[in-house]
Amino acid sequence: MLTAVGLLPMAVAGINIDEVLRGATAAMHEFDFPDISKNQCYRYAAARRLLGDQGRNIELFVSYQPSFAMMGEWLKQLFGESEGKEKKGLFPAYVGFSTDLHSMGQFVQEGSPILFETVIDIENGQRDITVPTGDEGDGLGFLTGRSLSEINRKAMIGTLLAHNEGGVPNLILKLACIDCFHFGYMVYFFEKACAIGGYLLSVNPFDQPGVENYKRNMFALLGKPGYEELGETLLDKLGL
C-alpha cells in the first residue's frame, strides 16, 4: 500500500501522501530494533504465533469505528495472502462492532475456542454526535446528552470484559486517531508484523502462488490469448 500502486490512488483521492509517508517513516524508525520487550510490532507478531500454536487459528480484527471498515478488509487481504501457504497461517476475519455483535457476539463468547480478537482501539474518532433528547418511551433516555464516541467506548470495554470472561484472548492495539499520519504509521506496523509472521511460519510472505492459480484458470476460461489450450482442458474437466 505504500508503493506507487497504493500512493497514486490516494493522491488522486486528495489524501496527503506526504503525511502518510511521514507516519510510515516514524513507524519504521520506532520498530527498527530487535529488543522484543520494547518493540510492540515484534510483540504483536509473536503473540499471534503463540496463539496460533494454541489452536487459536482465526484472528478476528475488531474495530468500533465505521470509518475503519475498509482498513479491516485490507487486513484480511494482507494477512490471508501473505501467510496462507503450505497449509499454514491464521485465517483473518474482520468485524465492525457493535453492529456485528448481533451476528457474531454469541459465537465469539461461547462458540468453538478457535479464535482470538485483535481490537484496534481508535481513541479519537474523526466525528462525533451527541444523542439528542427524545421520546422516553423507548427506554433509551439514559443516553441523552452522551456522545456516540462515549457509547462506543463503553460498548468496547463491556465487550472486552465479557469476551475475556468467556476465555477469548484479546490483543488491543491503540491508535490515537485516524488521520494521514496515523494511517501511514498503522500500515507500516501491520505490514512489518505480517512479514515477521510469515517468517515465523517458515513461509515466504512476499509471493502469492495460490492467487496466480485462480487467475490463470480465470484467464483461460475467459479466452485470454495464450490460454486457449488450458481453457479447453478446464472445460473438459468441468464437463462443459
Q: How confident is the model at residue 227 (pLDDT cuts 50, 70, 90)?
A: confident
Q: What is the pLDDT of residue 152?
A: 85
Mean pLDDT computed over 81-93: 96
- Among the listed residues 115, 72, 98, 111, the one whose alpha carbon sits nearest the alpha carbon of residue 153: 98
Mean pLDDT computed over 123-151: 77
Q: What is the pLDDT of residue 28?
A: 97
* Residues known to be catalytic: 81, 102, 215
Q: Are 173 and 116 in contact (CB under 8 A)?
A: no
Mean pLDDT taken over the chain: 91
Q: What is the pLDDT of residue 186?
A: 97
How far is Cα 215 from Cα 194, in angstroms, rounded to an integer? 24
**What letter would DSSP give residue 11?**
H
Mean pLDDT computed over 16-45: 96
Q: What is the pLDDT of residue 221?
A: 82
pLDDT tens digit sequence for 141-183: 777 878 888 888 899 999 999 999 999 999 999 999 889 999 9
Which of 68-77, 116-125, 218-227 has the lowest average pLDDT?
218-227
Mean pLDDT computed over 191-196: 97
Residue 188 has pLDDT above 90, yes or no: yes
Find cell 478457535 and name the residue: 114
Q: What is the pLDDT of residue 210?
A: 78
Burial (CB count within 10 angstroms: exposed 0-12, middle 13-18, buried 19+), residue 23: buried
Q: How many CA atoms lie within 13 A of 211 on its CB side?
A: 10
Taking the mean position of all CA atoms in its chain, how far away is CA 196? 16
Q: What is the pLDDT of residue 195?
A: 97
Mean pLDDT computed over 211-215: 80
Q: What is the pLDDT of residue 136?
A: 67
H or E element in which residue 155 lies: helix 148-165
Q: How confident is the model at residue 129 (pLDDT cuts 50, 70, 90)?
A: confident
Mean pLDDT computed over 178-206: 96
Burial (CB count within 10 angstroms: exposed 0-12, middle 13-18, buried 19+), residue 108: buried
Q: Are 176 and 123 in contact (CB under 8 A)?
A: yes
Q: What is the pLDDT of residue 135?
A: 67
Q: How confident is the model at residue 98 (pLDDT cuts 50, 70, 90)?
A: confident
Mean pLDDT computed over 190-196: 97
Q: Which residues touch 199 (CB under 8 Å, ≥6 apart)?
A: 205
Percent of the chain, pLDDT > 90?
A: 68
Residue 126 has pLDDT above 80, yes or no: no
